[in-house]
Structure 1
Amino acid sequence: MNAPAKILPDSQTITSVHHWTESLFSFRVTRPQSLRFRSGEFVMIGLPNEDGKPLLRAYSIASPSWEEELEFYSIKVPDGPLTSRLQKIEPGDEIILRPKPVGTLVLDALLPGKRLWMIATGTGIAPFASLLRDPETWESYDEVIVAHTCRTKEELSYGAAIVDVLPNDPLIGELVGDKLHYYPTTTRAHSAIEGRISDHIRDGRVFESLGIPAWQPEADRVMICGNLALNKDIMALCKGLGLLEGANSDPKHFVVEKAFID
């Protein structure tokens, strides 16, 4: 039996949707057969507007490069041109997906190192959800630290769910071993660790808590994905400690995704 014809150009079909909070949801879609990407990259996805023209936004692929489906993680903006409609999708619906992945949050943009720091706010955890499930990440580093800052504990749920299953993952569990460190913080609600991650780095609390030395150019690599304030703050901390910004064409000590903010 032939597969049903696609209604939208560059369209893919929603296979599942999960609403984590009133303002956050994730969804999975079919993967174009021709799509090849590196874990940590993003693509343009969206829906047609009222005129039938594509309304697209950059979304990190949250699934690893080897998975047969693609996963995305999104905020819900009630009056947002795209997310106000995207949050209502259901399995079987179609979305537009432009299969041209790009991005700087890839392992290739970093020099070899001992520790990899993944620092995110909100939906900025999405590219790290991809990288954390990629065997190459664990083969490349002795330690991987995931630092995720959100307003509330509930908003940490998606990232926590990803992290929780890693040690028992049938593909990478043995690679993960005791390499993983998780450091979730909240800024507007009580939790075990409160405050902005940048403050915890600046005053050394995160290093003391994890029993890890402060950043050193010869050992530490940092990936940053979050709101503009976080990006600027962590970049300044990196540069202050002698870490240099890298790119696909010029690997260095840290990288930041500047294509979008949450």
Structure 2
Amino acid sequence: MPAAPEAKFSEETVLWVKQHTPKLITFAISRPEHYRFSAGQFSRLGFRDGAGFIWRAYSVVSAEYADTLEYFAVLIEGGPMSARLADLQAGDRILLDKTATGFLLPERFADGRDLIMLCTGSGIAPFLSILQQPQIWQRFERLALVHSVSFANELIFNQRIAELAQHPLVGEYSSQFTFQTVLTREHLAGALDKRLPELLHNGELATALKLNFSPQHSRFMICGNPAMVKDTFKTLLDMGFAMHRNKVPGQIMMENGF
């Protein structure tokens, strides 16, 4: 007999909500003891909606070992889930699907020396989780995170990324890490100012990261808006890189941001 719908999710408590801009929020919910996920995966969060439910996927920002679950959301005008999240307050209840999913997992790469994480907007979320895992720093010699947004006020995680140098589990590896910001509609000192596909194609990104991209050593993970993911993937293919598949090892993994 199929399990009742309620058996497939738990009801959790919203612990805090922070609104960074009119469209960007982060929030944390209680983590049930049974909930397991791998850094890079996403949760399905939901609300009761009349006689039914409304569900959306959000990548987990938290480390695998964290006591709570943190998420980053971009509020979309007219979006039914965004309307719920816009009114979210500490103490509210939210539904959590009991099964995390997703294949944006760096451990799927069988080899490689440099891990380059490319993202736009909320696509940074899975990489924030990945960067809190000691194993990833031990696995790769160099890690690079590139976050592309439209305006400087959308770079809401810069301070947290800087604080990785003092992180009790990964801080000792901070010399292996490079963080590069990209602004496409505003100029800011230290930030690049073109779309990620163009920065790859013209060599600016490799220069900024001080890395030589090659199929032998470079492994790319891409997460963000579908247009960026599609165009960046095509650019990497043109540069001689290949999609990673379970039975056919390659150098690229990608996922649309949630």
Q: Are 1:84 and 2:83 matched, yes or no?
A: yes
Contact 2:115 2:142 (C-alpha < 8 Å) held by counterparts? yes
Q: Structure 1 length as normaliser, TM-score?
A: 0.90
SS at match of 2:156: helix
Could you tell me how far apart the structure 2 residues matched to 1:224 and 1:207 are? 16
Q: Are 1:32 and 2:32 matched, yes or no?
A: yes
Q: Which residue of 1 aligns with 2:3?
A: none
Contact 1:32 1:99 (C-alpha < 8 Å) held by counterparts? no
1:102 Cα deviation (Å)? Answer: 1.2
Q: Which residue of 1 aligns with 2:179?
A: 182
Q: Which residue of 2 aligns with 1:166?
A: 164
Q: Which residue of 2 aligns with 1:256?
A: 254
1:242 Cα deviation (Å)? Answer: 2.5
Matching of residues 160-239 of structure 1 within 5 Å: 160-176=158-174, 178-192=175-189, 193-213=192-212, 215-239=213-237
Contact 1:108 1:248 (C-alpha < 8 Å) held by counterparts? no
Could you tell me how far apart the structure 2 residues matched to 1:252 and 1:241 are? 13
1:241 Cα deviation (Å)? Answer: 2.5
Aligned-residue identity in percent: 29
Per-residue CA deviation, residues 184-205 of structure 1 (Å, 9 max, x unaligned), is: 1111122232121221111001
Name the Cα RMSD after superposition. 1.8
Could you tell me how far apart the structure 2 residues matched to 1:251 and 1:54 are? 39
**Taking structure 1 as reference, are residues 162 and 198 closer, same or farther at Cα in structure 2, changes over 3 Å only?**
farther
What letter matches 2:179 in structure 1? Y
Structure 2, gaps ≥5 residues long: 1-5
What letter matches 2:253 in structure 1? V
* More off after superposition, 89-98 vs 187-196: 187-196
**Taking structure 1 as reference, are residues 33 and 227 closer, same or farther at Cα in structure 2, changes over 3 Å only?**
same
Contact 1:119 1:225 (C-alpha < 8 Å) held by counterparts? yes
Matching of residues 29-68 of structure 1 within 5 Å: 29-49=29-49, 51-68=50-67
Q: Structure 2 length as normaliser, TM-score?
A: 0.91
Could you tell me how far apart the structure 2 residues matched to 1:223 and 1:113 are? 12
**Taking structure 1 as reference, are residues 252 and 35 closer, same or farther at Cα in structure 2, changes over 3 Å only?**
farther
Contact 2:44 2:96 (C-alpha < 8 Å) held by counterparts? yes
What letter matches 1:144 in structure 2? L
Contact 1:111 1:253 (C-alpha < 8 Å) held by counterparts? no
Structure 1, gaps ≥5 residues long: 1-5
1:58 Cα deviation (Å)? Answer: 0.9
Per-residue CA deviation, residues 121-166 of structure 1 (Å, 9 max, x unaligned), is: 00010101100111111111111111111010110122x1331111
User: How many pairs align?
Assistant: 250
What letter matches 2:182 in structure 1? T
Name segments (4+ residues, structure 1) moved above 3 Å: 247-251
